[in-house]
Each structure stands twice: as structure tokens, then as C-alpha cells.
Amino acid sequence: MAEAGALRIAMVGHGFMGAAHSQAWRVAPHFFDLPLEVRRSVVVGRDAGRAAAAAEKFGWDSSATDWREVVTRDDVDLVDVVAPGDAHAEVAIAALEAGKHVLCEKPLGNTLAEAEAMNAAAERASSGGAKAMVGFSYRRVPAVAFARQLVADGAIGQVRQVRVAYLQDWLADANAPMTWRLDKKLAGSGALGDIGAHAIDLVQHVVGTRLVAVSGLMHTFVTERPLTGGRGLAASSNGGGAGDEVGKVTVDDAAMAMARTAEGALVSLEASRFATGRKNGLHLEVYGSDGAIVFDLEDMNVLQVYDARRGADRQGFTRILVTEPEHPWMAGWWPAGHIIGYEHTFTHQVVDLVGDIAAGRQPSPSFAEGLQVQRVLDALERSSGEGSAWMSI
């Protein structure tokens, strides 16, 4: 079905993630050699006017309102799912069944059942050549990819303890208004699925392992919020007519957990939208028998590495500015010391995905990997409901 050498994209959704994905599709060909020509063909949204405006603003050829029609069109090769979590399963499965490649934002689904169905669809579609990838974009932070390399190369020895926390503060104000992200029906969960999912994937990716057991706790600090106003917020399903003034928060504001990896390392995990002063603070510490690695997303061009094999008087955390051409993806950008930003991770994701599609390789993170993260989320939520009892994954 595909035009030779071209990859025609349909993007379903056009919010904040739509802007990021659009920038990635737009920019990637100008800094990296892509084996396929990328075309931003169509943006899909429920509201025709807003979809058209998004297509104009983000630079897509056209817009549409019926995703079911679009994902089966002959002139679409890849469906990029950036809609809220409750739409992921339906759209992605339909696209895969139509033989399209799929890039789907994280977390894979709103529930474990959805994620399992999505993974099954991806496996079925795989035989026909369709590729499916889930958008854990932080894997494509050069410092994160480099950290994974270092761990795999044995630079820090056997990993024993991991500390990860994804801390934001946009809900710290108890009067911040209600939004779809605080409505379990739409968002699936709160801090856990939104940012905790990133944290879980980050640990598993950098360490090269899987979490196999978890004991967790989810908590909601502010259980009701005003329904009106506020930037970037929309009315939720929890508040009804015009007379309502507050909506019920039905998701977690913060989640925390203790976990174990397959090799027996201990992991502490936190996700919070109430950590005043932390804006996008995904902080990772990995302690091994021969060294350690520290990363923080707010300072994402830096990786700190400790090498315990050096002489005792020379040991310390080395602050590596991950902007050298020898670092992952960085040869495509600027000279050393010229930093990149948040959106570049999406560009790297596109670069790798297009390369995999052209080469017929399975992209990573696959839906199976996304499903595994979902299993951790599910186990943590069940644990929280049962007095933090340990759950196997």
C-alpha cells in the first residue's frame, strides 16, 4: 500500500503531545538521514474546526474528524496516537488491524486489559509487517541512552539499588481547577500512569531489567477541585450541569512503591504532582557494586557517573555533558556544549522508528514492553488497595 520511499502519517489527537510529535516529524529529516520520506498527511480530531486549526498550526496537509475512516485509508502508512489514554486502545487496535504502523503515546492503555488487547493486536499485525511502538520518549534522552550503555557495559558493576522519583508540582495549589487528567474514566490513573509510568520504564530501560514484585501506595491529597478555569484544563466527566462548582478527583495525586528487579535489586519509586518546586523532575539514581549513575530530567543534558574502580582519592561523581558527537544522536545536532531540549527526544524517537520501519525491525519500546510497564502499574494499584501487600508482576 505504501508509496515507495514515503511514510504518510495520520496523527490522532492534537494537544500538547500533538505539538511535540509534529515538531519531531517536521525536524527529523533536516538533522538526520531518514531512509523514508516523512509526510505529515492528516490530523484527526473530534471537532472539525479545531482539527483544521491544528493542521494549520502544526503544519499538516489536511485534517479529519473520523479516525475510523482515516486509519483505514490507503494513503496512510502510520498512525500516531496522541489522544488521551482512553482512546489509545480503540484507535491503535483499529490501525493495526488495518495494517498500519502505530506509534502510541504512553501509558499504553488506561487499564491492563486494554494494554493486553493492544499487545495482542500488535503481535497479530506483526506478521503483516506492521510495526508498533509505545512513546516512552525519555529513553531517547541522550544521557539516558548513554546511561543504559554504561550499565550494559558493566561500568557500574552489578546493580543493587535504584531510586527513581518523578516529581512535578502543578497540583500543589489546592485551588488549581479540575481537569480530565484527574478523572479516572478518562485518564486511567493520576500521577501513577502519567509520570510514574515514565519512571518505571526509565528504571527498566537503564538497568536492563524488569520489576518482578511491588508494594505500593497511592494517595489523593485534594479530593475536590473547582470545575472552572485554569490554563490547559478542561471540564471532566465528574461534574455535571451548570450548577456544579466542584468536581471529584478520582485519581492519585502521588504514588510511591518499593519494588524488586528480576536480579534482586531494590527499587524505590515515587511519582507526585505535589512536589512544590519540582517542575519536571524525573530523578534517577542507580547504585551498583562498582559505581553509580545519577540523572535528572530538569538537567537532561547531563549524566553523573561514579566509578568506584578509580583510586580512592580520585573517586567522585563525574558530571558528563552529554553533547559530544560520540554520544547517542548528538552527532546530528550541534557542536559539543550546545545543549538540546525536551522536544529533541521525540525527534530521536521518530528517527529510530523510521529506521526500524524501513529495515523491517521491531521498534523498541514495543507494545510488549509497554504492556510490561502496565503490569507494574496494575500491580502497584492493586497493592495499594490491599494494604501495600507485595504483588508479583
| Least distance (Å) between residue 262 CB and a copy of itself | 15
Residue 312 in the binding site for a copy of itself (CB under 8 A): yes
CB of 74 to a copy of itself, least distance (A): 27
Q: How far is CA 18 from the centre of its chain?
A: 13
Q: Which is nearer to a copy of itself, 241 or 341 (CB)?
A: 341
CA 204 to chain centre: 13
Shortest reach from residue 75's CB to a copy of itself, in Å: 22
In the complex, minimum distance from the CB of residue 3 to a copy of itself, in angstroms, rounded to a whole number: 19
Which of 161, 185, 358, 385 contacts a copy of itself by CB under 8 A? 161
Q: Is 170 in the site for a copy of itself (CB under 8 A)?
A: yes
User: Do 335 and 70 meet the contact criterion of CB atoms below 8 Å apart?
Assistant: no
Task: Single out the residue of 106, 104, 73, 77 nearest to residue 91, CA to CA.
Answer: 104
Binding residues for a copy of itself restricted to 49-68, rule: CB under 8 A: 57-59
Q: Which of residues 186-215 bind a copy of itself (CB under 8 A)?
A: 215
**Cis upstream peptide for 29 (omega within 30°):** no
Does 334 engage in binding with a copy of itself (CB under 8 A)?
yes
Q: Which of 156, 182, 373, 379 binds a copy of itself (CB under 8 A)?
A: 156
Q: Which stretch binds a copy of itself (CB under 8 A): 64-72, 114-122, 314-322, 369-377?
A: 314-322
CB neighbour list of residue 39: distance below 8 Å, 6 or more residues apart: 6, 7, 8, 9, 61
Q: Give the footprint of a copy of itself on residues 276-295 (CB under 8 A).
A: 276-281, 285, 287-292
- Kindly tell me which of 342 and 364 has the beta carbon lying closer to a copy of itself: 342
152 lies in the binding site for a copy of itself (CB under 8 A): no
Report the distance separating Cα 150 and Cα 155, nearest Å.
5
Residues 214 and 384: their CA atoms lie apart, in Å, by 10
Contact pick of 97, 235, 244, 317 for a copy of itself (by CB under 8 A): 317
Instruction: Name the one range near a copy of itself by CB under 8 A: 100-108, 115-123, 153-161, 181-189.
Output: 153-161
Residue given cell 500538547 in the structure block: 16
- Amino acid in the structure at residue 27: V
* In contact, 281 and 165? CB cutoff 8 Å: yes
Please give the residues from 252 up to 281 whose contact with a copy of itself meets the rule CB under 8 A: 254, 256-258, 266, 268, 270, 272, 274-281
Report in angstroms how near the CB of residue 289 gets to a copy of itself at its nearest: 6
Q: Which residue type does 64 have?
A: A
Angle subtended at Cα 111 by Cα 124 and Cα 222, rounded to the nearest 5 degrees = 155
Written as nine digits, the cell of 327 is: 554520544
The footprint of a copy of itself on residues 68-127 (CB under 8 A) is none
Residue 332 to residue 65: CA distance in whole angstroms: 36
The residue from 25, 67, 306, 329 that contacts a copy of itself (CB under 8 A) is 306
Of 390, 198, 369, 367, which is closest to residue 297 (Cα–Cα)? 198
